[in-house]
């Protein structure tokens, strides 16, 4: 790699709290040693936030672990130096390191649900660090813990300190972890994806809190994140990692406004928070649409009559008398209500209205998106619309036919026309099946073609989702997340549906892969005249794909309209808050 | 194939291979006719001519042990097959259908597990008549309960996997989901358990043949050989101890290999 200027070069050397020089880290695996970090150098100036940005597998988490010498098993630092306040941490004894970790270097872990001891009160967990490093006595530590909880923005810190982690929300738990990291007034805090598991509005508040702590305590922070937009908003300096190397580093403004490296350019382009347009179909997709006669995949697989009335035991007369063959709205949902009984501690129960009088329509051939944070009822709504779950009341009508109470064979026939793509491409594909069998499964279920014909169609479908047909005999475990999601999309297309319900289809994927999948969806929509019901928590993603948007919170639709109206002229306070919480706005 | 570097595993494999050869083609290993009695060579100690010595009728004990492998091991294998098949089907239905069906089936399974295996086998053998097949049925049914429980727990886990729900939304019918998704993903722990059960089955079969519930004499089942030697324990302890030791070694070998297969995969 070419010699790179590190961004600390222009500042005085003693102003750098951390200096990393030519760091190499590798993991020992069964098939030999694998280099995870290959010769990176960077500095962290005092009181500044340095973001390390990269996708999964780029080596960014390994780097953050190496900085405090807490690598996962099998990992080792092969060469290079890590100087913290002028002392090399590399050859330091485990004992000396312990006094630095938690004391002078704080660490904020990624997953707040796993990183706190579930059997210990949160106040005690903060106090533990204080007693260990600052040698405070029990009462002083307890009082200090309450003060810290107040400082990280927990309301009613006295009471919170006596609670257990499961009694706090994800955002509050992350605040507690931030409190622990800052408890002993460290010079440096390493935050590994501190907000990735949180909702956007919560993410914003937590990051604001970190900003404030940095300013007040003049702490330096190494912020590891996959989200370039978060880095853009919060960091003073950015280092972009790919394949174990830092491909570009500099001040945030430099890197984002004038990226020089190819990879950074790609990353900047694909960050959903930074892009602000709806994706348009690519040229090849438009060409293919004109070629194929009806713009339809495998027209022969669909029966001539609407599937709902095919075997008719549970079929219901057409809703509102609309022409069943060509209703303008592919899906109409009205007044859906779904409640869950929650058991309360100490007996009794409470009714949670997960979906509370929700109505919307999905026009044929367009994308209707529901956006909301966790617990908003968006997924439950989608599951009811896809007839996976059932509602307490309200109706779902598909192509003018009421399908609310279909069951058995009639419901199965509906699957020919409505398909679902799930959030987690690692969970929704049977690990024991070959890709070809997975994609051909719906064809087999509906007895389309013979074995060789189905294999042929599976290969064709693979090409439609831009995967090589040579993957047909592989197992899902051999594919990457993006490839798996393409397989899931190919599977949902196999039977030639009209509506596809997409439940957070890109949330589990890296940003650059996200954009590719979204582009694929947009292309396929034009090619095959599909309608989408799209569910996401991420307005940045929603913005790239939607024609209509509904914003949900606490089971209710707060606001609905065309994508343009909702995005540019939000009516509801909460929508405005969501829009403001999209990271990456300060940089644009 | 790191297993092949462990001496215990290799030794176990060799012993199992010998046992399989003995049960399929005993004439390759035997030195004498197991049923031929030589009146002048009664109750001889082990020697070059009679490796394990001779019994009270002058039959070669070594050859009898070799020929006994077929009966003992095939009964035990059949027992495991019966246990796995019956247990897996019951557990599969119980876990997949759920609700009241699950409740009723599992209470029967609880009863099955509560009765000691050997007692259950005795009841089955007593009602079906003596012989290696009824013996296998009895021992197999005794093991079916625990297979049903393992299978059911696997099915419950897999039933809630996303790919099962995905299959349903793709329009796949329930029986097809059961065969194509649930069964292949549930099979592994059950197979690992079946391998471990083999050792237990050999012991149970031997115990029952020792009590005389197997094939009628002069069939040389291992348990029956130990029983026949009882009368001469004071003068010729080898007659009981040697077949007993063979049972022990084979069971240890089976368990050692089964553990590696179950644990490493």
In chain A, the percentage of residues whose pLDDT exceeds 90 is 31
Chain B residue with Cα closest to A444: B172
The 10s digit of each residue's pLDDT in A404-431 is 888 888 899 999 999 999 988 888 999 9
Question: Mean of the pLDDT values across residues A479-505?
Answer: 91
Is the CB of B173 less than 8 angstroms away from the CB of A427? no
Give the pairing type, strands A75-84 and A393-398. unpaired
Q: Share the mean pLDDT of chain B.
A: 87
- CA–CA dist A584, A573 (Å, integer): 20
Identify the pLDDT of residue A323.
Answer: 40
pTM of the model: 0.74
Is the CB of A430 less than 8 angstroms away from the CB of B185? yes
- CA–CA dist A148, A154 (Å, integer): 9
Q: How confident is the model at residue A90 (pLDDT cuts 50, 70, 90)?
A: confident
Identify the pLDDT of residue A546.
Answer: 92
Chain A residue with Cα closest to B180: A433
* Residue from the list B161, B163, B171 with its beta carbon closest to the beta carbon of A445: B171
Identify the pLDDT of residue A300.
Answer: 43
Is the CB of A441 less than 8 angstroms away from the CB of B172? yes
Relative orientation angle of helices B61-97 and B132-159, to the nearest 10 degrees: 30
Residue A5 burial class via C-beta count within 10 angstroms: exposed 0-12, middle 13-18, buried 19 and up:
exposed
Is the CB of B161 less than 8 angstroms away from the CB of A424? no
The 10s digit of each residue's pLDDT in B92-146 is 999 988 889 999 999 999 999 998 888 888 888 889 888 888 889 999 998 999 9
Residue A518 has pLDDT above 50, yes or no: yes
Residues of A in contact with B166 (CB under 8 A): 420, 422, 428-429, 488
Identify the pLDDT of residue A293.
Answer: 40
Tell which wins on pLDDT, A542 or A586: A542
Q: Share the mean pLDDT of chain A.
A: 83
User: How close does chain A come to B164, measured CA to CA in Å?
Assistant: 8
Identify the pLDDT of residue A350.
Answer: 73
Buried/exposed A489-505: b ≥16 CB within 10 Å, e otherwise? bbbbbbbbbbbbbbbbb
Q: Is the dihedral of CA A97, A103, A108, A112 positive or negative?
A: positive
User: How close does chain A come to B130, measured CA to CA in Å?
Assistant: 43
Is the CB of B163 less than 8 angstroms away from the CB of A491? no
Least confident of A37-51, A216-230, A307-321: A307-321
User: How close does chain A come to B180, measured CA to CA in Å?
Assistant: 9
- 8 Å CB contact between B243 and B227: no
Is the CB of B170 less than 8 angstroms away from the CB of A495? yes
Chain B residue with Cα closest to A501: B169
User: What is the complex's ipTM, to 2 decimals?
Assistant: 0.72
User: How close does chain B come to A409, measured CA to CA in Å?
Assistant: 9
User: How close does chain B come to A428, measured CA to CA in Å?
Assistant: 4
CB atoms inside a 10 Å sphere around CB B204? 26
Residues of A in contact with B161 (CB under 8 A): 427
- 8 Å CB contact between A554 and A523: no
Is the CB of B185 less than 8 angstroms away from the CB of A446? no
Q: Which of residues 393-452 of A touch B (CB under 8 A)?
A: 412-413, 415-416, 419-420, 422, 424, 427-433, 441-442, 444-446
Which 3 state secondary structure label does DSSP give B110?
helix
Residue A499: which of A374, A365, A379 has the closest Cα? A365
Q: How confident is the model at residue A302 (pLDDT cuts 50, 70, 90)?
A: very low
Residues of B in contact with A419 (CB under 8 A): 169-170
Cβ-proximal residues to B223 (8 Å cutoff; 6+ apart), any chain = B72, B205, B206, B207, B208, B209, B210, B211, B214, B247
Residue A466 burial class via C-beta count within 10 angstroms: exposed 0-12, middle 13-18, buried 19 and up:
middle
Residue A377 has pLDDT above 60, yes or no: yes
Residues of B in contact with A382 (CB under 8 A): none
The 10s digit of each residue's pLDDT in A349-376 is 677 888 999 999 999 999 999 998 877 8
Tell which wins on pLDDT, A367 or A99: A367
Give the pairing type, strands A87-88 and A75-84. antiparallel
Is the CB of B172 less than 8 angstroms away from the CB of A442? yes
User: How close does chain A come to B79, measured CA to CA in Å?
Assistant: 29
CB atoms inside a 10 Å sphere around CB A200? 21
User: How close does chain A come to B157, measured CA to CA in Å?
Assistant: 13
Is the CB of A445 less than 8 angstroms away from the CB of B185? no
Cβ-proximal residues to A305 (8 Å cutoff; 6+ apart), any chain = none
- 8 Å CB contact between B165 and B181: no
Give the pairing type, strands A220-225 and A49-53. parallel
Is the CB of B166 less than 8 angstroms away from the CB of A388? no
* Residue from the list B169, B176, B184 with its beta carbon closest to the beta carbon of A415: B169
- CA–CA dist B244, B242 (Å, integer): 5
Residue A3 has pLDDT above 50, yes or no: no
Residues of B in contact with A431 (CB under 8 A): 163, 185
Residue A469 is classified by DSSP as: G
Q: For chain B, how are helix, strand and coil distributed in percent, rounded to 5?
A: 75, 0, 20
* Residue from the list B168, B171, B172 with its beta carbon closest to the beta carbon of A416: B171
Residues of A in contact with B173 (CB under 8 A): 412, 445
Cβ-proximal residues to B38 (8 Å cutoff; 6+ apart), any chain = B54, B58, B59
The angle at the Cα of A228, spanning A226 to A230, to the nearest 5 degrees, equals 95
* Residue from the list A386, A427, A445 with its beta carbon closest to the beta carbon of B163: A427
Identify the pLDDT of residue A287.
Answer: 61
Is the CB of B170 less than 8 angstroms away from the CB of A445? yes
DSSP string, A150-206: HHTT-SSHHHHTTS-GGGS-HHHHHHHHHHHHHTT--SEEEEESTTTTS-HHHHHHH
**Beta-bridge mates of residue A105:** A101, A188
- 8 Å CB contact between A587 and A256: yes
Tell which wins on pLDDT, A239 or A352: A239
Chain B residue with Cα closest to A494: B170
Which 3 state secondary structure label does DSSP give A298?
coil
Is the CB of B163 less than 8 angstroms away from the CB of A428? yes
Q: Is the dihedral of CA A462, A464, A465, A470 positive or negative?
A: positive
Question: Mean of the pLDDT values across residues B57-70?
Answer: 87
User: How close does chain B come to A492, measured CA to CA in Å?
Assistant: 7
The 10s digit of each residue's pLDDT in B243-263 is 999 999 999 999 998 888 765
Is the CB of B169 less than 8 angstroms away from the CB of A420? yes
Is the CB of B162 less than 8 angstroms away from the CB of A427? yes
Cβ-proximal residues to A360 (8 Å cutoff; 6+ apart), any chain = A333, A368, A370, A548, A550, A557, A560
The 10s digit of each residue's pLDDT in A415-472 is 999 999 998 888 899 998 999 999 999 999 998 888 999 999 999 999 988 888 888 8
First and final CA of chain B: distance in angstroms? 10
DSSP string, A253-265: HHHHHS--SHHHH
Q: What is the dihedral of CA A285, A289, A290, A291, to 10 degrees?
A: 100
Residues of B in contact with A307 (CB under 8 A): none
Beta carbon pairs, A and B, within 8 Å: 58
Least confident of A106-115, B38-47, B148-157, B195-204: B38-47
- 8 Å CB contact between B258 and B196: yes
- CA–CA dist A497, A37 (Å, integer): 45
User: How close does chain B come to A117, measured CA to CA in Å?
Assistant: 27
Residues of A in contact with B163 (CB under 8 A): 427-431
**Which range has highest mean pLDDT (A223-237, A289-303, A489-503, A510-524)?**
A489-503
Q: For residue A410, what are the CA distances in angstroms to A292, A402, A491, B165, B210?
A: 30, 12, 21, 17, 60
Give the tokens for residue A405.
């109470």
Residue A306 has pLDDT above 50, yes or no: no
Is the CB of A415 less than 8 angstroms away from the CB of B184? no
Q: For residue A576, what are the CA distances in angstroms to A208, A358, A580?
A: 18, 21, 6
In chain B, the percentage of residues whose pLDDT exceeds 90 is 32
In chain A, the percentage of residues whose pLDDT exceeds 70 is 87
Interface of B with A (CB under 8 A): 161-163, 165-173, 176, 180-181, 184-185
């Amino acid at each position: 790699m070419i010699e790179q200027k590190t961004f600390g070069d222009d500042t005085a050397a003693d102003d750098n709290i951390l200096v990393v020089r030519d760091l190499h880290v590798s993991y020992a695996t069964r098939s030999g040693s694998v280099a995870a970090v290959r010769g990176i150098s960077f500095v962290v100036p005092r009181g500044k936030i340095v973001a390390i940005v990269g996708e999964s597998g780029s080596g960014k988490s390994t780097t953050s672990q190496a900085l405090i010498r807490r690598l996962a098993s099998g990992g080792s630092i092969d060469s290079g130096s890590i100087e913290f306040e002028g002392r090399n941490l590399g050859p330091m004894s485990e004992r000396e390191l312990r006094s630095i970790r938690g004391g002078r270097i704080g660490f904020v872990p990624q997953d707040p649900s796993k990183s706190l001891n579930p059997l210990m009160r949160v106040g005690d967990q903060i106090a533990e660090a204080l007693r260990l490093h600052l040698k405070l006595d029990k009462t002083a530590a307890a009082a200090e813990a309450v003060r810290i909880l107040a400082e990280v923005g927990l309301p009613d810190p006295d009471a919170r300190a006596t609670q257990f982690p499961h009694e706090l929300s994800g955002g509050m738990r992350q605040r507690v972890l931030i409190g622990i990291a800052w408890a002993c007034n460290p010079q440096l805090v390493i935050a590994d994806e501190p907000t990735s598991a949180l909702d956007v509005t919560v993410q914003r508040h937590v990051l604001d809190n970190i900003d404030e702590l940095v300013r007040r305590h003049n702490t330096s922070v190494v912020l590891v994140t996959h989200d370039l937009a978060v880095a853009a908003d919060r960091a003073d300096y950015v280092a972009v990692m790919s394949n174990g190397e830092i491909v570009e580093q500099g001040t945030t403004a430099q890197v984002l406004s004038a990226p020089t490296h190819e990879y950074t350019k790609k990353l900047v382009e694909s960050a959903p928070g930074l892009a602000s347009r709806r994706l348009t179909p690519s040229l090849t997709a438009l060409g293919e649409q004109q070629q194929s006669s009806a713009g339809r995949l495998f027209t022969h697989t669909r029966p001539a009559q609407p599937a709902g009335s095919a075997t008719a035991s549970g079929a219901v007369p057409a809703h509102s008398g609309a022409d069943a063959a060509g209703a303008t709205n592919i899906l109409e949902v009205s007044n859906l209500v779904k409640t869950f009984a929650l058991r309360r501690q100490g007996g009794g129960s409470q009714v949670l209205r997960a979906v509370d009088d929700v109505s919307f329509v999905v026009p044929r051939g367009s994308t209707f998106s529901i956006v909301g944070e966790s617990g908003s009822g968006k997924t439950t709504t989608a599951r009811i619309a896809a007839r996976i779950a059932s509602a307490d009341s309200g109706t779902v009508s598909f192509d003018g036919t009421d399908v609310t109470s279909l069951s058995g064979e009639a419901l199965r026939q509906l699957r020919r026309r409505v398909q679902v793509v799930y959030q987690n491409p690692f969970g929704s594909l049977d690990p024991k099946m070959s890709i070809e069998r997975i994609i051909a499964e719906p064809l087999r279920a509906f007895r389309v073609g013979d074995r060789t014909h189905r294999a042929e169609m599976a290969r064709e479908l693979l090409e439609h989702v831009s995967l090589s047909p040579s993957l047909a005999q592989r197992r899902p475990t051999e594919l990457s997340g993006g490839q798996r999601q393409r397989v899931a999309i190919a599977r949902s297309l196999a039977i030639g549906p009209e509506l596809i319900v997409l439940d957070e289809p890109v949330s589990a994927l890296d940003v650059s892969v996200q954009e590719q999948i979204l582009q694929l969806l947009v292309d396929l929509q034009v090619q095959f005249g599909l309608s989408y019901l799209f569910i996401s928590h991420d307005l940045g993603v929603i913005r790239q794909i939607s024609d209509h948007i509904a914003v949900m919170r606490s089971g209710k639709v707060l606001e609905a309209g065309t994508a343009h109206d909702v995005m540019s002229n939000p009516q509801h306070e909460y929508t405005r808050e969501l829009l403001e919480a999209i990271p990456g706005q300060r940089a644009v | 194939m790191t297993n092949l570097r462990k001496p215990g595993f290799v030794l176990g494999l060799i012993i199992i291979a010998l046992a399989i050869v003995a049960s399929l083609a005993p004439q390759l290993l035997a030195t004498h006719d197991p049923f031929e009695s030589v009146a002048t060579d009664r109750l001889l100690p082990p020697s070059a001519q009679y490796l394990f010595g001779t019994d009270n009728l002058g039959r070669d004990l070594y050859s009898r042990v070799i020929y006994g492998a077929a009966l003992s091991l095939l009964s035990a294998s059949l027992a495991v097959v019966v246990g796995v098949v019956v247990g897996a089907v019951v557990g599969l239905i119980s876990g997949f259908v759920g609700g009241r069906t699950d409740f009723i089936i599992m209470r029967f399974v609880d009863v099955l597990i509560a009765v000691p295996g050997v007692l259950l086998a005795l009841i089955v053998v007593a009602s079906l008549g003596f012989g290696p097949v009824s013996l296998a049925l009895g021992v197999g049914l005794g093991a079916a309960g625990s297979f049903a429980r393992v299978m059911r727990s696997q099915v419950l886990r897999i039933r809630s996997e996303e790919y099962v729900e995905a299959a349903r939304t793709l329009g796949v019918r329930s029986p097809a989901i059961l065969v194509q998704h649930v069964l292949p993903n549930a099979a592994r722990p059950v197979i690992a358990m079946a391998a471990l059960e083999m050792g237990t089955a050999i012991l149970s079969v031997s115990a029952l043949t020792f009590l005389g519930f197997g094939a009628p004499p002069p069939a040389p089942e291992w348990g029956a050989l130990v029983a026949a030697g009882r009368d001469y324990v004071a003068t010729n302890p080898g007659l009981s101890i040697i077949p007993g030791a063979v049972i022990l070694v084979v069971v240890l070998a089976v368990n050692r290999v089964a553990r590696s297969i179950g644990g490493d995969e």
